[in-house]
C-alpha cells in the first residue's frame, strides 16, 4: 500500500513508519519538525516537511494517491493545552479536518487515527476503562483528540472513508523527547542518567497504563486491514503508579539520589488504565512487551544517546 504517516519524524510516528516499511509498504512521511527530528526518519520513506494545516498538502495527495493515511500528528501536552486551548483546537482539530478533506477528495480508502485513552475519558467511573465508558475529558488536549473521532464517523457515513481509531495509553520507549512533549519515563530516565534531581508531581500514587512504543506501532500496522469503523483502546489493562516507574528506573540507572515531590498538575486524571480486550478480539493485538523489558530497552537507548 501507499501510506501517508503524519508525524513520522516524531517519537511514536517514527516507530509506526518503521513498522510499516518493514511490513513492505510504501511510506511517505509528513512532519513539520517542530517536535520531530530528522534522525528519526526511516531512510526508506519519502519525506516532506509540512504542517498538517497547510493547504499546499493537496499537491502531495494528488501526486502520491495514498491508499491509507496513518495520522499521528498532534499537540500532545496536557499541561500546555490548559494554557493554550485555541492552539490545540487549531492543530489537532482543524489540522485533522484538513487531512480528512484531502483524503476525501483524493480517493484515500482508510484513515487510521491516533487518539488518546489516557485523556478522553476523564476521571474513570470504573476500571479498567473500556470503549463504552463516558467521554469526560478534563483538558483541551483530550477534548480536541476526541472531537476528531466524530468527524471520522461522519466522513465514513457520508463519503465512505473507512477509519480505525486507536486510543493510546501512556506510550514510552526509545526516541521520546525528554525535554518537549515528553512522558514521565523519558523525563525520569534522562534526569537519572544525568544525576539530576527528579521531582514527582503529586503523591506519585497516580496510575497510568504504560505500553511500549513498538507495540503501539504494531497496532497501527494491524489496523490497515482490520477494524473498519471501530474504536479501540490500546493498553495493557493494568495501572502502574508513578512511584513504581520511579523505583524501576532508579534501579536500572543506579540513580543515587532520592526523588522529591511537587504539587499535582492541573487537568491530569489521577488513575486511568485501559481495557483492550476488544483490540485483542478484533485486531489480534496485545501489549506484548513486559514493562520491565521495555523500561530496560528505554534506559539503554538513552544511555547510548547521552554518551554520543
The pLDDT of 43-65, averaged and rounded, is 97
pLDDT of res. 275: 98
Element (H, E) at 192: helix 184-193
Catalytic residue among 88, 113, 141, 273: 141
Domain boundaries, given as residue ranges, for the chain: 2-172+210-237+274-288, 184-206+239-273+293-307
What are the beta bridge partners of residue 210? 170
Contacting residues for 162 by C-beta, under 8 A, at least 6 apart: 109, 110, 111, 156, 228, 229
Q: What tens digit of pLDDT does each residue of 117-138 get?
A: 999 999 999 999 999 999 999 9
229, 156 Cβ separation under 8 angstroms: yes
Give 3-state DSSP helix, strand, coil % of the chain, rounded to 5.
40, 20, 40
Q: What tens digit of pLDDT does each residue of 240-293 get?
A: 999 999 999 999 999 999 999 999 988 788 999 999 999 999 999 999 999 999
281 SS3 class: helix
The pLDDT of 217-226, averaged and rounded, is 98
pLDDT of res. 295: 98
Residue 184 has pLDDT above 60, yes or no: yes
Do you find a cis peptide bond into 308, omega within 30 degrees of 0? no
pLDDT of res. 182: 65
Element (H, E) at 111: strand 110-116
The pLDDT of 70-84, averaged and rounded, is 94
Q: What is the spatial distance between Cα 291 and Cα 303, in angstroms, rounded to a whole number?
A: 18
pTM, two decimals, is 0.97
Closest CA to 211 of 229, 234, 193: 234
Q: What tens digit of pLDDT does each residue of 142-182 get?
A: 999 999 999 999 999 999 999 999 999 999 999 999 986 56
Closest CA to 14 of 176, 210, 219, 222: 176
pLDDT of res. 181: 57
Domain 184-206+239-273+293-307 has CATH 3.30.70.520: no
10 Å Cβ neighbour count for 55? 9
Write the DSSP string, 12-50: HHHHHHHHHHHTT-EEEEEE--SS--GGGS-TTSEEEE-
Domain 2-172+210-237+274-288 has CATH 3.40.50.720: yes
CB neighbour class for 171 (10 Å; exposed up to 12, middle 13-18, buried from 19): buried
Contacting residues for 31 by C-beta, under 8 A, at least 6 apart: 6, 7, 8, 9, 10, 13, 41, 47, 49, 50, 73
Averaged confidence pLDDT in the chain: 96
212 is catalytic: no
Q: What is the spatial distance between Cα 9 and Cα 190, in angstroms, rounded to a whole number?
A: 20
156 grid coordinates: 465514513
With cut-offs at 50, 70 and 90, classify the pLDDT of residue 79.
Answer: confident
With cut-offs at 50, 70 and 90, classify the pLDDT of residue 18.
Answer: very high
Domains 2-172+210-237+274-288 and 184-206+239-273+293-307 fall in the same CATH topology? no
106, 39 Cβ separation under 8 angstroms: no
pLDDT of res. 180: 64
Amino acid at each position: 500500500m501507499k501510506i501517508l504517516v503524519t508525524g513520522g519524524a516524531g517519537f511514536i510516528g517514527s516507530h509506526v513508519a518503521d513498522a510499516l516499511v518493514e511490513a513492505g509498504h510504501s511510506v511517505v512521511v509528513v512532519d513539520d519538525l517542530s517536535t520531530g527530528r530528522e534522525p528519526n526518519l526511516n531512510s526508506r520513506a519519502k519525506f516532506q516537511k509540512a504542517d498538517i494545516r497547510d493547504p499546499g498538502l493537496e499537491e502531495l495527495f494528488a501526486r502520491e494517491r495514498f491508499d491509507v493515511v496513518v495520522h499521528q500528528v498532534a499537540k500532545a501536552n496536557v499541561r500546555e493545552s490548559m494554557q493554550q486551548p485555541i492552539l490545540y483546537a487549531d492543530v489537532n482539530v482543524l489540522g485533522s479536518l484538513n487531512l480528512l478533506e484531502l483524503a476525501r477528495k483524493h480517493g484515500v480508502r482508510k484513515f487510521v487515527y491516533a487518539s488518546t485513552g489516557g485523556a478522553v475519558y476523564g476521571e474513570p467511573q470504573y476500571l479498567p476503562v473500556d470503549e463504552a465508558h463516558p467521554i469526560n475529558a478534563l483538558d483541551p488536549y483530550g477534548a480536541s483528540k476526541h472531537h476528531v473521532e466524530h468527524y471520522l464517523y461522519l466522513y465514513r457515513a457520508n463519503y465512505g472513508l473507512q477509519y480505525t481509531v486507536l486510543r493510546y495509553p501512556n506510550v514510552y520507549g526509545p526516541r521520546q523527547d525528554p525535554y518537549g512533549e515528553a512522558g514521565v519515563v523519558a523525563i525520569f530516565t534522562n534526569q537519572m542518567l544525568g544525576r539530576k534531581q527528579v521531582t514527582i508531581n503529586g503523591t506519585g500514587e497516580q496510575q497510568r497504563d504504560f505500553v511500549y512504543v513498538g507495540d503501539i506501532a504494531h497496532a497501527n500496522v494491524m489496523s490497515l486491514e482490520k477494524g473498519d469503523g471501530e474504536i479501540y483502546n490500546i493498553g495493557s489493562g493494568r495501572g502502574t503508579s508513578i512511584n513504581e516507574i520511579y523505583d524501576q528506573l532508579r534501579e536500572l540507572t543506579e540513580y543515587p539520589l532520592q526523588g522529591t515531590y511537587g504539587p499535582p498538575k492541573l487537568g491530569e486524571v489521577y488513575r486511568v488504565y485501559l481495557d483492550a480486550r476488544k483490540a485483542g478480539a478484533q485486531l489480534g493485538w496485545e501489549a506484548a512487551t513486559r514493562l520491565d523489558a521495555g523500561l530496560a530497552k528505554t534506559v539503554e537507548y538513552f544511555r547510548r544517546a547521552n554518551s554520543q
